[in-house]
Structure 1
């Protein structure tokens, strides 16, 4: 076969990252290089009935646009919120998508596009993305923590995602403070209640009530101004006393969680991503000092903490990598 013929035959993969506000798409090579990407708004009206048809329409439209055919693809991989049944290709309980009943994604998408389809949880696919093309350096053992509105995670062990009975990698519900804050899951003291974007604000409000010193953060809270995790981190970077105390507390819990993950799995990398990770090295260094305090000595030397590198692309890259298993 000529070299030219080889390139024509080289099959591609499609990644879909399904979120509450936008749906991101990408066409990638088998090596994980993004060749085309686009996004559409997520229409959650009518109990999310438009979402799957919109995904199908968008994929078909872009294949026509790029003059591509279904036979040129190994498959479509998707990351979705909610409870994912990977075998059946269904999703239930994705409340931010307004999906109240079981959604038949695999059946409909394969039928409509003529391309094989596979799906996993959104935090898991972000973990796969960072592991494959980001901070995880395609290592066989990588743990991923995403700090957003909540705290999610994914574990890759021996090159494979760890699923357990379906709920493995729920880092956000690791208990870091027995009898601590009440979590949406019904338990108390979950990491999510302290280290998510909303958790940081919650810690700040609580600590401000007991704080009597001079602090811009306390002044803003007392004045009823809206506070975000970014504001707390920015003030801490400027040495605001209360903000620094808040971040120390948050990073203590994150460090404990990372040490527990390290002690249990000893991955090469624990990658920290999500909106809160935009605080960068200031966050990483604070978490690392706590990690080193609580980790088993040999884990301290062999497990490295890193910031995520792919940003918003982790989801589509990881989702697309799922499709490689369909070949």
Structure 2
């Protein structure tokens, strides 16, 4: 396997990303295709197969030169069967035989994993995780996802739901989550959650604030807008960010005391707020975390961005 190459695939609802990599983690070729979710998502797997075969032909490469293909996908993964179900943003509301089809179409072995888990593996292998044995990853995007790596391996749990950090209850009386529960971390720490908190706070806020003025005008705002105004010391935006980061720090302190990983890596679109986000979360984390954990688990920002998924997917082939 040392001299064989790897293919990583990050399957998303809009775009499917591909990478050809060395076993040492170097990306040699990258490309992407639009994810065609029409026809009940039945075009997705054939399009992936066609794209791989086309690029191998273009690069004059053979299946024998590859140790295998790793793919990260939304939805519920059956790791034994290599099937995916409930990936509703792909129009997959029934089990899809992704492993079987891609293996037959490319003549390469395939491993399938949840998309949040492959992002965690990518950050652990080539990103902020410094290839440490124990890493927890939380991704703050439209929702909040996560992945737990213990002794170099993803933890799936008995039902495959380990690492669902976004559905940790932080306020039993909080907002209703899309999962049906109240007070999940996702309801405040996701991009949509930050906006939800801002709208709520604005209704009660009586002082001068550009954020309040924008909301009162009916402007559409994003989590980036809230963070940008907080960085400019907008008083309402600061209140929102302090609340969001307090809840996130509390949640991560629980992750830390449960797992005591070397790193907890924060990724996803909201993490683009950078050190401003990290410093606020750090304050809350240090307030709540068990003292013995404070010096052995470090919070870090993700470094790989959109490449985390393909890198982590490719690394599945290295995991024996």
Residue of structure 2 equivalent to 1:98? 91
Q: Does 1:10 align with 2:9?
A: no
Report the CA distance between 1:325 and its aligned residue.
3.2
Question: Within the alignment, does 1:219 sit opposite 2:213 as a pair?
Answer: yes
Structure 2 gap segments, 5+ residues each: none
Name the CA distance, whole Å, in 2 between partners of 1:135 and 1:218. 36
Aligned equivalents of 1:159, 1:58: Cα separation in 2: 31
TM-score, reference length from structure 1: 0.96
Tell me which of 140, 143, 155 is aligned to 1:147. 140
String of CA shifts for 1:243-302, please: whole Å, max 9, x gaps: 000000000010001100001111110000000000000000000000000000011111
Inter-partner Cα distance in structure 1 for 2:74 and 2:241? 28
- Alpha-carbon distance in 2 for matches of 1:205, 1:247: 12
Q: Retained in 2: the 8 A contact 1:150–1:172?
A: yes
Specify which of 155, 161, 173 is matched with residue 162 of structure 1. 155
1:201-228: CA deviations, max 9, x gaps?
0000000000000000000000000010
Distance in structure 1 (CA, Å) of the matches to 2:318 and 2:61: 19
TM-score by length of 2: 0.98
Q: 1:88 aligns with which of 81, 92, 96?
A: 81
Distance 2:124 2:171 in 1: 29
Return 5+ residue gaps in structure 1 as ranges: 1-5
Is 1:75–1:324's contact at 8 Å kept on the other side of the alignment? no
Aligned to 2:294: 300
Matched residue, 1:69: 62
Report the RMSD for the aligned CA atoms in angstroms.
Answer: 1.0
Give 3-state SS (helix, strand or coil) of 1:302's partner: coil
Aligned residue among 156, 165, 168 for 1:174:
168
Pairs within 5 Å for 1:1-327 = 10-165=3-158, 166-325=160-319
| CA distance in structure 2 between the aligned counterparts of 1:239 and 1:32, rounded to whole angstroms | 41
For residues 307 and 109 of structure 2, the distance between their equivalents in structure 1, rounded to whole angstroms, comes to 22
Question: Quick check: 1:93–1:101 contact (8 Å CA) kept in 2?
Answer: yes
Q: Take 2:280 and 2:291, find their aligned partners in 1: how far apart are those partners?
A: 18
Tell me if structure 2 keeps the 8 A contact 1:142–1:157. yes
Distance 2:235 2:269 in 1: 23
Q: Is the CA contact (8 Å cut-off) linking 1:197 and 1:229 kept in structure 2?
A: yes
Contact 1:110 1:117 in 2 (8 A): yes
Residue aligning to 1:3:
none
Q: Is the contact between residue 27 and residue 36 of structure 1 (CA under 8 Å) also seen in structure 2?
A: yes
